[in-house]
Structure 1
Amino acid sequence: MSDTPPDRLSNDPRSKFYDEALLERGIGIRFNGIERHNVEEYCISEGWVRMAVGKALDRRGQPMTMKSRGTVEAWFLTPAGDAGDAVEG
């Protein structure tokens, strides 16, 4: 696997931009200079993130989201090859 995250990624399994293998590695997102932990989807080239808004749910039971524009940076939290390794203990 590459150490460069994809341009666009979603954590919604219904999305065509969902990739379970990449999400298992963990993705860090910095939006407008602030590290965010509530990002549902992002696109680096278009400069937007879709973030969960509180604990509200839509009629399908999915989190309500808000799309915001700005500078998006993404990185992997674990190096390639470390994801999926069993933790002994």
Structure 2
Amino acid sequence: MNDKASLPELPDRLSSNPRSKFYNEDCFEHEIGIKLNGKERTNVEEYCVSEGWIKIPSPKALDRRGQPMLITLKGTVEAFYS
């Protein structure tokens, strides 16, 4: 059932926020893994492979809408299906 050939290709940039223009629901039907500098991250909200960054939620800071502020981490980004 977990046939890698039938999975949609992961985009260069993807966001888990449905309000973002980089949100793609088809990709989230399957488990996605993200590695930053060889270390797997589990709390990634958005990534860009070509620009080499990921965004993770801040543990405490909130924006004016009550959503967690995003922190940008830079490095080598790898996206894959788990």
Provide TM-score, normalisation by structure 2.
0.83
The residue number in structure 2 matching 1:5 is 10
Q: Percent identity?
A: 58
Q: Structure 1: which 5+ residue stretches go unaligned?
A: 78-89
The partner residue of 1:26 within 27, 31, 37 is: 31
Q: Secondary structure at the match of 1:20?
A: coil
Secondary structure at the aligned position of 1:61 is classed as coil
- Runs (5+) with no aligned partner, structure 2: 1-5
Runs of 4+ residues deviating >3 angstroms: 1-4
Aligned-residue offset at 1:29: 0.2
Shift of residue 63, structure 1, vs aligned partner: 1.6
Q: Match of 1:86?
A: none
Of 1-10 and 31-40, the range deviating more from structure 2: 1-10
Aligned 8 A contact 2:8 2:27 in 1: no
Larger radius of gyration: 1
Q: CA RMSD in A?
A: 1.5
After TM superposition, the score normalised by the length of structure 1 is 0.77
Higher RCO structure, 1 or 2 (CA under 8 Å, sep 6+) = 1
